[in-house]
Amino acid sequence: MTESALSIPLAMKPRDLGFFRKVLRFFAELREAIVQAAISIASHKLRAALTITGISIGIMTVITIFMVESGMQASFARQLNSLGPNTLYVHKWKWGVGGNDWWKYKNRPVVTQLDWRALQKNATWPVAIAPSTNTTAVVGIPGQGDKDLKSVNVVGTTEAFLDAGSWQLKRGRFISDLDHELGTDACVIGADLEDAFFKNGDPLGQALKVGPMARCTVVGTLMRKGNAFGQSQDLRLVMPLSSFLRSFGSKRGLVIAVVAPAGKVMETEDEIISVLRNSRRLGPEQEDTFSVNRQDKILQGFNQMMMATNVVGILVGIITAIVAGIGIMNILLVSVKERTREIGIRRALGARRMTILMQFLCEAIMVAAVGGALGIALGAGGAALIDILSPMPAAIDPRVVVGGVVGSAVLGAIFGLWPALTAAFLHPIEALRYE
Amino acid sequence: MALIELEHIVKTYDLGLSKVPALRDIHLQIDRGEFVAIVGQSGSGKSTLMNIIGCLDVPTAGRYRLSGRDVSELSDDELADVRNLEIGFVFQSFQLMPRASALENVELPLIYRGVSKKERRARAQGALDLVGLADRMTHKPAELSGGQRQRVAIARALVTQPSLLLADEPTGNLDSKTGEEIVGLFHDLHGRKNTIVLVTHEPKLAARCPRAVRLVDGLVIADGPGVKVAMGNAEALGAEAVAQLLAAQAATVQR
Per the CB < 8 A criterion, the answer to whether B132 and B181 are in contact is no
Query: Does residue A289 share a domain with residue A393?
Result: no
The ipTM value here is: 0.89
Least Cα distance to A37 among A423, A348, A428 occurs for A423
Interface of A with B in 15-74 (CB under 8 A): 15-17, 21-26, 28-29, 32, 39, 43
Q: Which of the pair, A146 or B64, is modelled with greater confidence?
A: B64
pLDDT score for A342: 93
Confidence at residue A226, expressed as pLDDT on a 0 to 100 scale: 72
- Res. B198: pLDDT tops 50: yes
Does residue A331 share a domain with residue A220? no
A223 touches chain B (CB under 8 A): no
> In a structure prediction context, what are the per-residue pLDDT tens digits for chain A, which is 435 residues long?
444 445 556 655 444 567 777 888 888 888 888 988 888 888 888 888 988 898 888 888 887 777 777 777 777 776 666 666 788 889 888 876 666 777 888 888 899 889 999 998 999 989 889 999 989 888 988 877 778 888 899 999 998 888 776 678 888 999 998 999 998 999 999 988 888 888 888 889 888 988 877 789 999 999 887 766 566 778 899 999 999 998 888 788 899 989 888 888 889 999 999 999 999 998 888 888 898 888 777 777 777 777 887 888 888 888 888 888 998 999 999 999 999 999 999 999 999 999 999 999 999 999 999 998 898 888 888 878 877 777 666 667 777 778 888 888 999 999 999 999 999 999 999 999 887
- Domain membership of residue A11 (yes or no) is no
Check CB contact under 8 Å for A6 and B126: yes
Looking at the structure, tell me whether residues A394 and A324 fall in a common domain. yes
- A335 and A369 inside one domain: yes
| Domain enclosing residue B222, as ranges | 2-254
DSSP string, A97-155: --STTHHHHHTSPPP-HHHHHHHHHH--S-SEEEEEEEEEEEEEETTEEEEEEEEEEEE
- Is position A125 within any domain? yes
Residue A3's pLDDT is what?
Answer: 45
Q: Are A147 and A270 found together in one domain?
A: yes
Residues B77, A349: C-beta atoms closer than 8 Å: no
The number of C-beta contacts closer than 8 angstroms across A and B is 114
Burial readout A321-347 (b: 16 or more C-beta within 10 A, e: otherwise):
beebbebbbebbbebbeebbbbbbbbb
Nearest CA-CA partner of A212 in A247, A179, A252, A181: A247
Of A259, A293, A327, which residue is a domain's last?
A293
Asked if the structure places residue A41 within a domain, the reply is: yes
Nearest chain A Cα distance for residue B207, angstroms: 27
Q: Which helix (H) or strand (E) holds A218?
A: strand A214-222
Residues A265 and A382 in one domain: no
Three-state secondary-structure class, residue A266: helix
Interface probe, candidates A349, A354, A425, A430, chain B, greatest B C-beta count within 10 A = A349
Whether A25 and B125 lie within 8 Å, measured CB to CB:
no
pLDDT of residue A7: 56
How many Å lie between the alpha carbon of A389 and the closest alpha carbon of chain B?
Answer: 50
Q: Kindly state whether residues A263 and A355 are assigned to the same domain.
A: no
Taking the C-alpha atoms of residue B175 and residue B182, their distance in angstroms, rounded to an integer, is: 11
Mean pLDDT of B206-222: 89
Computed over every residue of chain B, the mean pLDDT equals 88
Angle between helices A295-338 and A353-389 (to 10 degrees): 140
In this model, does residue B143 exceed pLDDT 90?
A: yes
Contact state of B158 with A354 under an 8 Å Cβ cutoff: no
Q: What is the arrangement of strands in the sheet containing B196-200, beginning at the earlier edge strand?
A: B87-90, B164-168, B196-200, B35-39, B211-216, B219-225
Please give the tally of structural domains in chain A. 2
Q: What is the DSSP letter of B192?
A: T
Is residue A4 in some structural domain?
no
> Which chain B positions have a beta carbon within 8 Å of A32's beta carbon?
111
Contact B129 A346 (CB under 8 A): no
Chain centroid to Cα B49, Å, comes to 9
Last residue of a domain, one of A266, A293, A320: A293
Nearest to A429 among B51, B96, B163 (CB): B51
**Structure confidence at residue B249 as a pLDDT band (50, 70, 90):** low
pLDDT for B34 equals 94
In Å, how far is A33's CA from the nearest CA of chain B?
A: 11
Report the domain count for chain B.
1
Residues of B in contact with A9 (CB under 8 A): 161
The answer to whether residues A235 and A383 belong to one domain is no
What does the alpha-carbon distance between residue A329 and residue A333 come to, in Å, rounded to a whole number?
6
In chain B, whose CA is at the least distance from the CA of A33?
A: B111
Q: Report the chain A residue with the minimal C-alpha distance to residue B87.
A: A349
In chain B, which residues have their Cβ closer than 8 Å to the Cβ of A5? Answer: 122-123, 125-127, 129
The answer to whether the Cβ–Cβ distance between A353 and B76 falls below 8 Å is: yes
Residue A344: domain span: 21-76+302-433
Axis crossing angle, helix A295-338 with helix A340-348, rounded to the nearest 10: 80
Domain closes at, from A264, A293, A322 = A293
**Mutation site, B48, B56, B169, B188, interface A, largest A CB count within 10 A:** B56
Q: Beta-strand (E) ranges in A223-346? A: 227-228, 231-232, 236-240, 255-259, 291-294
User: d(Cα B75, Cα B81) in Å, to the nearest integer?
Assistant: 10
Q: Could you tell me where the DSSP H helices lie in A339-433?
A: 340-348, 353-389, 398-424, 428-433
Please indicate, yes or no, whether residues A236 and A163 belong to a single structural domain of this protein. Answer: yes
A:351-380 residues touching chain B, CB 8 A cutoff? 351-355
Same domain, A160 and A216: yes
Residues A44, A182 within the same domain: no
Predicted pLDDT of residue B252? 58
> What are the chain A neighbours of B158 within 8 Å (beta carbons)?
6
Closest approach of chain B CAs to the CA of A52, in angstroms?
A: 23
Both A366 and A251 in one domain: the answer is: no
**Residue B166's pLDDT band (boundaries 50, 70, 90)?**
very high
Q: Does A344 touch chain B (CB under 8 A)?
A: yes
What is the DSSP pairing of strand B164-168 with strand B196-200?
parallel
- Asked if residue A6 belongs to a domain, the reply is no
Is there a domain that residue A117 lies in? yes
Rounded-to-integer distance, Cα A320 and Cα A415, Å? 13
Probe site for chain A from B70, B112, B168 (most A CB atoms < 10 A)? B112
